[in-house]
Structure 1
Amino acid sequence: MVLLLARHKVADAETFIAGYTGPDAAAVRAKFGVTEESVWATVQDNNDVLVMHHFDTEDQANAFLAAEELKSAMAALGVTEAPKLQVFNRL
């Protein structure tokens, strides 16, 4: 199992979560093998979000990160700066 952590600054957390939970974003996650996901916001700043995605393989996570659909979705959801990304393997 692989875990992708993506920390984003967004223009508006409500807009971000509305788009993230919508059917188009869900279809992209399914297409690239996301098996579980969650979204968190820091206590200090609701527009500082952490997205957690689980994949079966590292190849799936890397394909997701390289996907044009992901870049388009981040722009549409109001991501305002490059995300901080980390990929972890389960021990």
Structure 2
Amino acid sequence: MNELNDKLRDNEKVCSVCKKAVRELISRLKQPKMRSKIVEALLDYCEEADEDEDECKRMIYRYGPVILHKLEKFKASEMCSMIGMCEEEIAMKI
């Protein structure tokens, strides 16, 4: 029983750390300077990738802002559940 309690506490700690990190990430995504850095990094990837560089860059310019905007809308608990750092939270409707 003690081992189970320890594991639950460890899982809660991991989940808590994940949520804190994701909240910080989402907060930073809202900053124009950070958004620019992310787009620049993706454009650098296009230059290094073996794919068609021009097509890659067009995709980044076209969809990058949309993807970043959608990421801002996630809740930390949802994101951490999706990546397996937190158990899925079940919303109970009464």
Asked whether the two chains share a fold, i.e. TM above 0.5, the reply is no
More helix by share: 2
Higher relative contact order (CA 8 A, sep 6+): 1
TM-score scaled by structure 1? 0.28
Q: From the CA coordinates, give the structure whose radius of gyration is larger.
A: 2
More strand by share: 1
TM-score scaled by structure 2? 0.28
